[in-house]
Amino acid sequence: MSENTTLRMEGILKEFPGVVANDHVDLSVERGEIHGLLGENGAGKSTLMKILYGLYSQDAGDVYFQGERLDLDSPQDAIDAGIGMVHQHFMLIPRLTVAENVVLGEREPATVFRDDAGEESWLPASIRNNGLVQSLAGTFSLGLDVPEQRIQELADRYGFDIDVSAKIWELDVGQQQRVEILKALYRDVDLLILDEPTAVLTPTEAERLFESLERLTDEGLSIIFITHKLKEVDAVVDRVTVLREGKNVGTAEVSSVTRADLAEMMVGREVLFEIDREAVDLGEPVLRASGVSAEDDRGIEALSGVDLTVRQGEVVGIAGVSGNGQKELAEVMAGIRDPTAGELVVSGTDITGAKPKRFVENGVSFVPEDRLRYGCAKDLSVMHNATMKDFDGAAFGDRGFLDYGKLEDYAETLVDEFDVRGVRDVTETDAGDLSGGNLQKLILAREIYRNPDLLVANQPTRGVDVGAIEFIRETLLEQRKEGTGIILLSEDLDEIFDLSDRILVVYEGEFVHETTPAEADRERIGLEMTGGSGDESASDPTASPAEVTQESES
Amino acid sequence: MVSFLAGLLDATVQAATVLLLAGLGELISERAGVLNLGVEGMMLVGALGGFIVTVVTGSYWLGFAAGIVLGMLLALVHAFLCITLKSNQVISGVMLTLLGTGITTFFGSAWVEESIDGFPQIAIPFLVDIPVVGEAFFRSTATDYLALFMVVVVWYFLNHSNLGLEMISVGEDPEMADTMGVSVFRLRYLAVLIGGGFAGAAGAHLSLAFSQLWVPGMTAGRGWIAVALVIFAQWRPRRMLVGAYLFGLLDALQLRSQSLSLTLGPDAPLASLVNPVVEFLMTPQIMGTYPYLATIVVLAYAVIRTKSDRLAVPSALLQSYSRETD
């Protein structure tokens, strides 16, 4: 144990009914380092950090921070010890201002009662410094002037552009995260825990965050950075500890390991970053959409007369920057959003404007973008969710009565075949209790096991860990071999390239470019996605796609 | 006409005080995330308890205090059920209203015949001489003045004190509050108890100042109106003041309308058509439904507005909280 060690967690054990979330985990963090905590969804990273922050209490094990043993009963204890945490889901109250959110719980009294007010207060110091007056003022008054100044100073020092008197809802996601960090800095923390901080950020915002983190560690702060993205480990982390199924599988200097090593530590086996895609003969068209237009939730046209044909055994990848009509396109194709114009023919039947149920009956399956809100009923059991689309079929009973035994068997089959982990009992475990990757596998299982003619998958691997990503991609390709036509919408270009037979680029509700992975030119696609005109490159005869590809690779 | 207006305003102030006290209490409780549908029951318990203590001791201030304490006692049951046991807030609240109604009807029957010297009217010199409004607003009972003062206190408390900020945070996002070292458990208990105290005070005002006698079921649904008022007020104390006076006016209209004739003269055009309608609308029984009709309108408005998400509902209203369940 080096002298520089600031945090030591030893033999942490935490059990939830039926699951060991942390199985005697050790962790040590050095002063001024960014320590990565890497693991798949459900590996126990968040649990370990919630113990460190006093939100959970461990069943066994000790926490030593700056040489002292900590007894953490509540977050207040952690804050007092100098530990701050930025949670994955922001802990901010949208209706309150930045300053109010930051000082909450700090009991800042009105300025006249501050013990450090000096000349500014008309109250004599002897009254102000009285303990009873202090405590009363801290409870029944609230002064934001001095705190606002301090917060602004902190923000300036670390280059955060934040208006301290703005309401949280007025800020964008990146700014909200900076407020979260300010909350910790305001409390003079020595150790900052960041729980998957980039999950909600755009790549540019993530870059900015990484820069801020380096400035913080320069000032002697230690940071624990929870993530399941290997790219981020390379980008910011100094040392990394990998958790798998609640156990510590090792700590390493990032400079001395490769991504493949880390992935193997995380998943427990070799991870294939390259996928073999066999050639499949295309069959009859399963979807013929022509001239389809649709509006978004605000009633603004989001899709302007697009044509799309998908054939049996074909994966059509749709690339584009988020918000260019992908969501509406997916929903129209899945039948849950009515098009304002155009027609949809699925497997030879015109079902334009039909109810979603008709789409389901016609063999359309849908993996929505937001799995918690639209992909499942999170308070219902795994069994209910697994059978949600098919329970009224003849297989599960007749004349309005359900055969629960059969429903249960069916759900168990799905859970086994699609390797959905974290399910104790299909009738007891709620879908909402599954981790992101496992929930996504369950949704995919439900949509694919019914052998659809057309599968619409919107961001199927967003926010899930590498093991699950690999599984989901393989499953999609297997289903392609069965003759299902697949529409894959993804912001991950690699995913589009690896899986698609044909690539369409969507920009402002229209397809602006069509290509195949073999012929595709990434730079051109990137340009088309952002509305950089395709005409320019067409008018320039020297910039043929093949040449540009070579340049970008060299 | 002037005397009618003065009388109407006077009755409005008295009726509004009941709604104001009960509404402010409910507002605090809801801002901390706990819906209290037991207001009606707590008001009745406060009304009877306050009345009995006043009869026995002869002191209406002691009676008023007893009303507050009894309201808090009943609220303690609500807090225990909803916060500690995490049971359904709606069911617990309705149950407490039924319980309060039952208890007071049973124990109150013996006290119906009693009479007391309740809160006297206090005139504020000079101000009371203002025409029309002077008598109504500045010759009132101590509880009327207290209720108005409480609007300021509650407003200050929620917006300009640490405890108030913490209470709001608990009603918006208890998990967030917890991570900031704020005790969700303690603050919600406190808010529910304060709410119960206010409801008890509203009941005591009703029996000790407003009517100065005890009748079983005398709150007549005012507790429910207070719950609706919180929505009308968008969870803000200052709007609560407006709402309470508006609903108080509807209540007062019913009492004072007998002396008012709104029918058209027999020669006026359409008199034969309009007069029966006006007469029907002015029937005391029909007028008695106005506050409740207004409540329905407010609630319908609230539901429609909720869809546009602009309503200031505390985000964690009705949600119980415990640390290790997520």
State the CATH number of the domain containing residue B146: 1.10.3470
Q: Looking at the complex, does the CB of residue A96 fall below 8 Å from at least one CB of chain B?
A: yes
**DSSP helix/strand/coil, B151:** helix
Distance from CA of B29 to the nearest CA of A (A): 18
Cβ-based neighbours of A361, under 8 Å, separated by 6 or more: none
Q: What are phi and psi of A430, to 5 degrees?
A: -80, 150
CATH 3.40.50.300 for domain A366-451, yes or no, is yes
From chain B, the residues in CB contact with A74 under 8 A are 178, 181
Q: Cα separation of B134 and A287, whole Å?
A: 78
How high is the ipTM of this complex? 0.83
Residue of higher predicted confidence among B228 and A400: B228
Q: Do A139 and B169 touch (CB under 8 A)?
A: no
Low-confidence ranges of chain A (pLDDT < 50): 534-554
pLDDT for res A540:
40
The answer to whether B47 touches B104, Cβ cutoff 8 Å, is: yes
Binning pLDDT at 50, 70 and 90, where does residue B291 land?
confident
CA dihedral B80, B83, B88, B89 (to 10 degrees): 80
pLDDT for res B305:
65
Binning pLDDT at 50, 70 and 90, where does residue B307 land?
low
- How many contacts (CB atoms, under 8 Å) link A and B? 72
Q: What is the mean pLDDT of chain B?
A: 88
Q: H or E stretch including B49?
A: helix B39-57
Binning pLDDT at 50, 70 and 90, where does residue B322 land?
confident
Q: Looking at the complex, does the CB of residue A87 fall below 8 Å from at least one CB of chain B?
A: yes
Domain A1-82+189-271: CATH class, spelled out: alpha beta
User: Among A16, A55, A138, whose Cβ lies nearest the Cβ of B323?
Assistant: A55
From chain B, the residues in CB contact with A49 under 8 A are none
Cβ-based neighbours of A398, under 8 Å, separated by 6 or more: none
Q: Cα separation of B212 and B210, whole Å?
A: 6
Average pLDDT over residues B251-266: 72
pLDDT for res A533:
53
* Torsional sign, CA B56, B58, B64, B68: negative
Q: How many CB atoms lie within 10 A of CB B144?
A: 25
CATH of domain A275-363+464-554: 3.40.50.300
Nearest CA in chain B to A109: B162
* Torsional sign, CA A362, A365, A369, A373: positive
pLDDT for res A275:
66
Distance from CA of A103 to the nearest CA of B (A): 9
Identify which of B27, B315, B72, B42 has the alpha carbon closest to the alpha carbon of residue B164.
B27
The answer to whether A444 touches A418, Cβ cutoff 8 Å, is: yes
Packing angle, helices B39-57 and B222-232, rounded to 10: 130
Q: Do A91 and B164 touch (CB under 8 A)?
A: no
Q: Cα separation of A129 and A131, whole Å?
A: 6
Q: How many CB atoms lie within 10 A of CB A497?
A: 18
Q: Do A140 and B179 touch (CB under 8 A)?
A: no
Structure tokens at B192: 């529910």
Q: Do B166 and A105 touch (CB under 8 A)?
A: yes
Number of domains in chain B: 1
Nearest CA in chain A to B175: A91
**DSSP helix/strand/coil, A346:** strand
Q: Cα separation of A169 and A176, whole Å?
A: 9
Distance from CA of B177 to the nearest CA of A (A): 8
Distance from CA of B322 to the nearest CA of A (A): 10
pLDDT for res B145:
93
Q: Which residues pair with A226 in a beta bridge?
A: A37, A195
pLDDT for res A520:
83
pLDDT for res A534:
47
Average pLDDT over residues B202-214: 93
pLDDT for res A271:
66
Domain with CATH 3.40.50.300 in chain A: 1-82+189-271, 275-363+464-554, 366-451
Average pLDDT over residues B293-316: 73
Residue of higher predicted confidence among B1 and A508: A508
Per-residue HEC secondary structure of A389-409 comes to: CCCCCHHHCCCCCCCHHHHHH
A246-255, A474-483, B228-237, B255-264: segment of lowest average pLDDT: B255-264
User: Among A75, A85, A139, whose Cβ lies nearest the Cβ of B163?
Assistant: A139
Mutate to test the interface with A, among B159, B180, B194, B319 (most CBs of A within 10 A): B180
Q: Do A85 and B177 touch (CB under 8 A)?
A: no
Q: What DSSP line would sit under A185-246, residue for residue? A: HHTT-SEEEEESTTTT--HHHHHHHHHHHHHHHHTT-EEEEEES-HHHHHHH-SEEEEEETT
pLDDT for res A542:
39
Beta strands in A80-131 (DSSP E): 83-86
Q: Cα separation of B324 and A344, whole Å?
A: 48
From chain B, the residues in CB contact with A436 under 8 A are none
Q: Do A183 and B180 touch (CB under 8 A)?
A: yes
* Torsional sign, CA A446, A447, A448, A451: positive
Binning pLDDT at 50, 70 and 90, where does residue B286 land?
confident
The single-letter code of the amino acid at B111 is W
What DSSP character marks residue A274? S
The answer to whether A431 touches A377, Cβ cutoff 8 Å, is: yes
Identify which of A85, A95, A98, A114 has the alpha carbon closest to the alpha carbon of residue A185.
A85
Alpha helices in A53-144 (DSSP H): 75-81, 98-103, 125-128, 131-140
Q: Do A141 and B181 touch (CB under 8 A)?
A: no
* Residue range(s) defining the domain that contains residue B62: 2-325
Structure tokens at B130: 């203002």
| Residues of B at the A interface, defined by Cβ within 8 angstroms | 157, 160-166, 168-169, 172-173, 175-182, 312, 315, 323-324
Cβ-based neighbours of A553, under 8 Å, separated by 6 or more: none
pLDDT for res A539:
38
Q: Do B169 and A93 touch (CB under 8 A)?
A: yes
Cα A19–chain centre separation: 23
Nearest CA in chain A to B171: A93
Q: What is the CA radius of gyration of chain A?
A: 27
Q: What DSSP line would sit under B261-306, residue for residue? A: --PPPTTSTTHHHHHHHHHHHTSHHHHTTHHHHHHHHHHHHHHHHH
Identify which of B114, B124, B127, B155 has the alpha carbon closest to the alpha carbon of residue B237.
B155
Q: Cα separation of A353 and A292, whole Å?
A: 11
Structure tokens at A166: 């703005």
Q: What are phi and psi of A70, to 5 degrees?
A: -100, 140
pLDDT for res B259:
64
Mutate to test the interface with B, among A49, A76, A80, A93 (most CBs of B within 10 A): A93
User: Among A74, A91, A110, whose Cβ lies nearest the Cβ of B173?
Assistant: A91
Window A:102-141, CB contacts with B under 8 Å: 104-105, 107-110, 138-141
Cβ-based neighbours of A187, under 8 Å, separated by 6 or more: A79, A82, A84, A106
Identify which of A271, A260, A272, A204 has the alpha carbon closest to the alpha carbon of residue A233.
A260
From chain B, the residues in CB contact with A100 under 8 A are 165
Distance from CA of A227 to the nearest CA of B (A): 19
Q: What are phi and psi of A63, to 5 degrees?
A: -120, 125
Mutate to test the interface with B, among A113, A140, A181, A297 (most CBs of B within 10 A): A140
**DSSP helix/strand/coil, A539:** helix
Q: Do B162 and A76 touch (CB under 8 A)?
A: no
Q: Do A95 and B324 touch (CB under 8 A)?
A: no
Angstrom distances, CA of residue B201 to CA of A130, B22, B45: 34, 8, 10
Residues B124-145: pLDDT tens digits?
888 888 877 787 788 888 999 9
Q: How big is chain A, counted in residues?
A: 554
Q: Cα separation of B240 and B21, whole Å?
A: 10
From chain B, the residues in CB contact with A105 under 8 A are 166, 177, 180-182
Whole-prediction pTM value? Answer: 0.75
Mutate to test the interface with A, among B162, B163, B167, B324 (most CBs of A within 10 A): B162
The answer to whether B323 touches A57, Cβ cutoff 8 Å, is: no
Q: Cα separation of B195 and B32, whole Å?
A: 10
The answer to whether A379 touches A430, Cβ cutoff 8 Å, is: yes
User: Among B161, B179, B312, whose Cβ lies nearest the Cβ of A142?
Assistant: B161
Q: Looking at the complex, does the CB of residue A92 fall below 8 Å from at least one CB of chain B?
A: yes
